[in-house]
A and B are shown apart, each in its own frame.
Chain A
Amino acid sequence: MMRTTILIALMPVLTTADTLQDGWASAVAAFFGAALLVAVIGGLAVRFPAETLVEYSQKLLGKWPGKLLSLVPLFAFLYMAATDIRVYGEALVTVFLTETPLAFIIGAMVFISALAAYAGIEVIGRSADLFFPLFLLAIIISLVAPLPQVPILIRNIEPVLARGAGPVLRGAITPIAVISQYMVLTMITPSTIEPKRVLRTALGALGASSAVLAMSALLVVITLGPQRAARSVFPFLSMIRAVQLSEFIERMEVLIVFAWGFGVFIAVAAFLFSGARGLAQVMGLKTYRPLIGPMAAVWVAMAVHAHDDLFQVSTLFQPGLIFPLAAVGFILLPMGVLWGAYLIRALLGRLHGAG
């Protein structure tokens, strides 16, 4: 059930498609880096299949240090989801609803997601199941639709890998950082039917999304050309906008925005659920539900005020800024500490066992 949730949570990756000519190569590189991170995240989740990060961090580090440490990923949920929804809101305002206040779009989306989070993880998973085929269809259509233009504009991707591996690897950093969203695994693994399969599913989802990312990076460069692609704020949207299948079918971006909406909805609901549940566990509450309302409110404020405007948001996605913040701050710090504690405990346990 959760498989699709995890998969859909990745949609924002599409918006940050690297627009360099070798973006597709960056996507491939990103896959390997991200796979490592997912293994780091999922590995521990699989070792504690019945517990959330908040619970096993207390087990590993002791009560108070564990609680303190688990606040870091909880804040990460808040920050990542707020950024996600901000990007979505900006895109919507830019492309469709030019006169609608951003706060309204964000507020409405968070409200709906909060409803889902309030209904529980089961409902989120089922909604994801229901939307997944539509989502997949939208992605496939958006990847297939530009194909007729490819033979004409194929020269746009030349020169291939002209600048060597350095830029390619640097381009891979942003997608890797976005993978920190997989931290949500640490909170929802106990709710899955087969926690053991979470890691495999997550890697599968990662593979699929990386493939989509590589494809879209290629198509963006081919359709728009490198200069236009680099200038565009939402390159994938601009690409789809440029597609005209026939006289009648020319506005395909509505499809993408819809699919993206599904993705953001599911992702934000999952983040909100995970955040509220985690916080409830930190605070020792029996149910997470009373936290949803206040958290959603904070979320809206965060999404609206954390960034001044669209350009600051896109600056955030610059490799130099997002990587230390997201990857190191939100994944490597808590997970590193936890893994360290786990390994030391395992080692000590073995020593005790031997003695």
Chain B
Amino acid sequence: MFKLLQKFLQRRKKRVLDDWRKNPDISMREVQVRQVKLFADLDKNLQMLTRYAGPSFDVSVRRFTAAGKSPAALVRLDGLVDSRTVEEILRNLMVESRMIDEPGKRGEIKSAALERLLTIAEVREADNIADLFSALSIGNIALLFDGAAQALLCNAKGFLTRAITEPGSEMALRGPREGFIESLRANTSLIRRRIRIPHLWIESLVIGELTQTEVAFAYIKGLAAEKMLREVKDRLGRIKIDGVLESGYLEEFISDTPWTLFPLAQRTERPDIVASSLLEGRVAIFTDGSPHALVVPSEITTLLQAPDDYYEKSPAGSFIRLLRFGAILISLLLPGIYVAVINFHQELLPTALLLRVTAAREGVPFPVIFEVLLMEILFEVLREAGIRLPAAIGPAISIVGALILGDAAIRAGLVSPAVVIVIALTAIASFATPVFSLAIALRILRFLFTVAGAVFGLFGVQLVLFATVIHLCSLRSFGIPYMSPLAPFIWGDMKDALTRAFWWRMRRRPKLIGGQEPQRAAPDQLPLPGRDPGERTDGEKE
């Protein structure tokens, strides 16, 4: 029976694969375009270009005569290039080239232009239409010369990008205000400026048959485990899809366990987070066109850290981190526990509190679980609506949500004030999760906890908790246990897990990730009066 099913599935899989091979889709045509080479004849090349690009109005071709004798053409996409650079290139080739008066052969002007005429720093060659067009799309201009079967691609990037601003989804009170933007080069430059050693390696590859998106992954050579790097490279290299518009596409392709709720890669907009992760031996993946970098491997503790923990002093940082852990437990468990206690274990409440809660529930027509689920769903909808709303009418939703729905629901006796308090507390606590994708996972789980609490009481809450823990403990992110250093328990890494130790105490990198180069800070740096380095080397005491 089981075997039969397996056979059936296998046959189905084979059919799908065959189908895919037999009917080349548009991305397969793209592969064929790559094989179309340029001709040595300018007119033929331009004809071919118009054939592929069709009537696109932004492809502009400027024919001119280079060095006074050879016909040439400058191809660019309007809006992507800087017009002053274009003028400069034309001046180089048309005016200043007159100084060259040797009679060149047909097509020789190309190498002359490359070597003597063009004053552009970044010039590449392309010999096929696909490369030429993908270069045009990122702000290059293409120079085609009569008699040369290669085009010169000059970087004349002049398109507009967003300015580097503070990341909207990851705020910090103290710390750099820079955030990534949609341009890959700008993003890597932000990292380069923070880590100034040549060992910071940034490799790139192109993913997406139609979008041809540039994806780069950065790491510190020698610090990141080679095995993990190979794995990253492998998993990225395997991706075949028509387009990659955001790093989220990649995240789903490279996760160890695709169907888990929990994010197995850390998504961040902050260059300081990426830099600190690289320093621990992790790998950062950048996607062109997305301000979100992916950091792998990531554990649950790294997802619960915020930049402030590291920039504030250690006790303060530890306090806010502990607070955050508490908030996360509240946001996960509180509604479930409330429902369970009210439904099954009223005796657990102190008498005075119990009387209050029961009095408040007086006259509410719904069972507790219905009340709680109603308010929770209401809150989720409000939150979702709040994100999509234009800033101008944002306050309106809070008035509708808070005043009309909340207050009126209580006054009308539809929900009890206690439930509103519980849900409000849960909502506030859930905003303390620094990583949005983790917050979503916890939100979804919260519904499970609520239902379990309503059906089976605290016992149910406990069971769901066990199930969650089993799931969390079986997760891995690029081979690193997701719950480390809590489980497996690594004492040395506890300095930076639930609390944050002083920087001079965190002398070692996380064991499982930065194990090849464990040392992070020199030992014995406790700053005490009368203990500056000069005195210490004398070996004197006080």
Contact = CB atoms under 8 A, between A and B. Distances in A.
A275 to B, nearest CB: 18
B489 A129 contact: yes
Nearest to B466: A112
B469 A261 contact: no
A251 B457 contact: no
B337 to A, nearest CB: 10
B249 interface: no
Nearest to A130: B487
A254 B469 contact: no
Given A123-B470, A129-B488, A130-B473, A261 B347 contact: no
A108 B487 CA distance: 24
Nearest to A92: B459
A109 B470 CA distance: 13
A144 interface: no
Contact of B473 (A105, A123, A247): A123
B483 A115 contact: no
A254 B473 contact: no
B379 interface: no
A265 B483 contact: no
Nearest to A251: B348
Contacts of B469: 127, 130-131
B27 interface: no
A127 B470 contact: yes
B458 interface: yes
B463 A119 contact: no
Contacts of A122: 473-474
Contact of B470 (A4, A92, A100, A116): A116
Contacts of A247: 350
A248 interface: yes
B457 A96 contact: yes
Contact of B463 (A112, A248, A251, A254): A112
B459 A108 contact: yes
A248 B349 CA distance: 8
Contacts of A36: none
Interface in B40-69: none
B462 interface: yes
Contact of B345 (A1, A96, A130, A131): A96
B456 interface: yes
Contacts, number: 78
B39 interface: no
A310 B347 CA distance: 24
A122 B470 CA distance: 10
A50 interface: no
B463 A108 contact: yes
Given A116-B470, A119-B473, A1 B462 contact: no
Contacts of A127: 466, 469-470, 473, 487
Given A96-B345, A127-B473, A129-B487, A105 B350 contact: no
B213 to A, nearest CB: 36
Contacts of A132: 489
Interface in B427-479: 456-460, 462-463, 466-467, 469-470, 472-474
Contact of A97 (B457, B463, B472): B457
A125 interface: yes
Contact of A1 (B456, B472, B488): B488
Interface string A299-310: 000000000000
A97 B459 contact: yes
B262 interface: no
Contacts of B344: 96-97
Interface string B221-233: 0000000000000
A250 interface: yes
A109 to B, nearest CB: 7
B317 interface: no
B113 to A, nearest CB: 63
A352 B540 CA distance: 64
Contact of A96 (B350, B459, B470, B489): B459
B481 interface: yes
B350 A250 contact: yes
Interface in B305-355: 344-345, 347-348, 350
Contacts of B473: 119, 122-123, 126-127, 130
Contacts of A254: 345, 348, 458
Contact of B462 (A123, A130, A248, A261): A261
A248 B350 contact: yes
Nearest to A269: B470
Interface in A88-143: 92, 96-97, 100, 105, 108-109, 112, 115-116, 119-120, 122-123, 125-132
Given A116-B470, A247-B350, A129 B486 contact: yes
Contacts of B466: 112, 116, 127, 261, 265
A115 B470 contact: yes
Contacts of A119: 470, 473-474
A55 B467 CA distance: 32
B483 A126 contact: yes
A75 interface: no
A64 interface: no
Contact of A112 (B467, B474, B488, B489): B467
B368 to A, nearest CB: 17
Given A96-B345, A129-B486, A130-B487, A258 B470 contact: no
Given A115-B470, A265-B466, A125 B348 contact: no
Contacts of A115: 467, 470
B457 A125 contact: no
Nearest to A261: B462
Interface string B82-122: 00000000000000000000000000000000000000000
B59 to A, nearest CB: 57
A132 B487 CA distance: 10
A226 to B, nearest CB: 27
Nearest to B460: A108
Contacts of B457: 96-97, 100
A84 B502 CA distance: 45
A108 B456 contact: yes
A120 B471 CA distance: 11
Of residues A96, A116, A122, A123, which shows the largest number of chain B Cβ atoms within 10 Å of its Cβ? A123
A123 B474 contact: yes
A116 B469 CA distance: 9
Interface in B487-504: 487-489
A247 B353 CA distance: 11
Nearest to B347: A251
Interface in A213-264: 247-248, 250-251, 254, 258, 261
A125 B488 contact: yes
Contacts of B486: 129-130
A128 B486 CA distance: 10
A112 B470 contact: yes
B67 to A, nearest CB: 71
Contacts of A251: 347-348
B229 to A, nearest CB: 24
B459 A1 contact: no
Given A96-B345, A126-B487, 19 more contacts: A4-B489, A96-B457, A97-B459, A100-B456, A105-B459, A108-B463, A112-B467, A122-B473, A122-B474, A123-B474, A126-B483, A126-B488, A127-B469, A127-B470, A130-B486, A130-B487, A251-B347, A254-B345, A258-B462
6 contacts: A112-B463, A119-B473, A119-B474, A123-B473, A127-B466, A130-B472
10 tightest Cβ-Cβ pairs between the two chains A and B: A126-B487, A126-B473, A129-B487, A130-B487, A129-B489, A119-B474, A123-B473, A123-B474, A112-B466, A116-B470
